[in-house]
Structure formats: structure tokens, C-alpha cells
Amino acid sequence: MSTPSKEKSQKPKIPWYNDVDGFRIPGMFSVEAYKSALAYKPRPDDLIIVTYPKCGTTWVQNIVACIFREGKPFGSALEFFSDTPFLEMTGAEAAEKMKRPGAIKVHLPFRLTPWSPEAKYIFVARNPKDCCVSFYHHTESMPGYVFEDGEFDDYFELFINGEVDFGDYFDTTLSWWEHRNDPNVLFITYEQLKKDTVNNVLKIAEFIGHEYK
């Protein structure tokens, strides 16, 4: 009698996530910080950079920082993270205490993003194929996910079903696409930014404020 191969009998390996009210966050994140992030009240001068993970977040954070800082680079990674806080990881207090002008980062669909018609929001979208591959490598290489040597095929199934951290790529992107014409929302893509960096940086600067263009 034959026995199933080890490959077929093994259950898919799943990264470590926490499910908070139906929304997955990385297992190493504080649930308390995440909940405080959702309750954050944006200030009128807030700029919030919204992306699904691995869609150009850090690139746009640095572009915005260079605009605000007149090209002056950050002195350290600590300065970067404190001046551009990741709201779901750090909680609301970090955003309340950050230097201004500055930008807050979130990976949230529209329905969960702290919203104010007076604040400004930059949403960055990316080709889902490239996003998925990059997100897999990020997850597999980060010890906190406990996904070392995780298989791409297993991760792809999670991604395509919206079962990875920060929810469903398509739901998040479409939820912000519906607001692309709101006066306080700038919807851009990673591909546009890569193809015509100069003009899209100028578009970001003008959106932030005419004094920055």
C-alpha cells in the first residue's frame, strides 16, 4: 500500500498574523497600537500616505520627506521612522507627536483609514503581480512572520484570497480608486512614478501645497 508523499501530506505554511475584527495584521504588531491607529483623529495639516504593502510606500515617503526637508536626507533610520510613523505599528501617539510638516504611513482600505476632509491623502497603487512577488519575499525574509522557507505557491493562494496581512489587495485599491477625484486625494501608481519620475514628483509637491512646487 502506497503512502502519500511528504510534499502532498504537508499542510501549507502560513505566516504569523493576528486577526483583529476580521482584518489581519502582522503577528508581531501590537493589537492595542493597531486599534489606537484606527481611532486617530487626523489634523487639518496631516498628509497621509496610503498604500497596500510593497507598492512603493518607502519610495513615496522619501519623496515627500525630501520635499518637506528641501532635499536634506535623514540622519538615521530612527529619524526616518519617527518623522514618518507607520500608524498601525506605532499607534496614534507617534502620529500626534511627530514633527510637522511630515507624513503618516498607513496600509489600510478606505473604510478603516482615519479620515478627515481637511487632511490630504496620497494613495499609491502597483501592478498586483509585482506587489505579490515583493510581498512574498518581504514576508519570507522577515523573522517576525515565522515564514522562513515558506513556499510562494502557498503565499500566492493567501494573497489572491485576501488572507495576508493588511487584507485584500483588490479591495484596498478599489476602495481608494472610488475616491480618486476627491479634492484631498491624489491617486498615483508605482508604474507612473517610475516612468516619469520628475513630473510625478512635481505633481506630488503641488498636491501637498503650491509653495512646495
- Which residues are marked as active site? 107
Strand pairing report for 17-20 and 23-26: antiparallel
Count the Cβ atoms, other than its own, within 10 Å of residue 151: 15
Between CA 179 and CA 100 the distance in angstroms is 25
What are the DSSP E strand ranges found in 21-100?
23-26, 47-51
99, burial (CB in 10 Å: exposed 0-12, middle 13-18, buried 19+): exposed
* C-alpha distances in Å from residue 11, one per residue of 6, 8, 17, 165: 10, 8, 17, 20
Residue 101 preceded by cis peptide, ω within 30: yes
Distance CA 179, CA 158 (A): 27
Q: How many residues does the structure list for the chain? A: 213
**How far is 49 from 103, CA to CA, in rounded Å?**
7
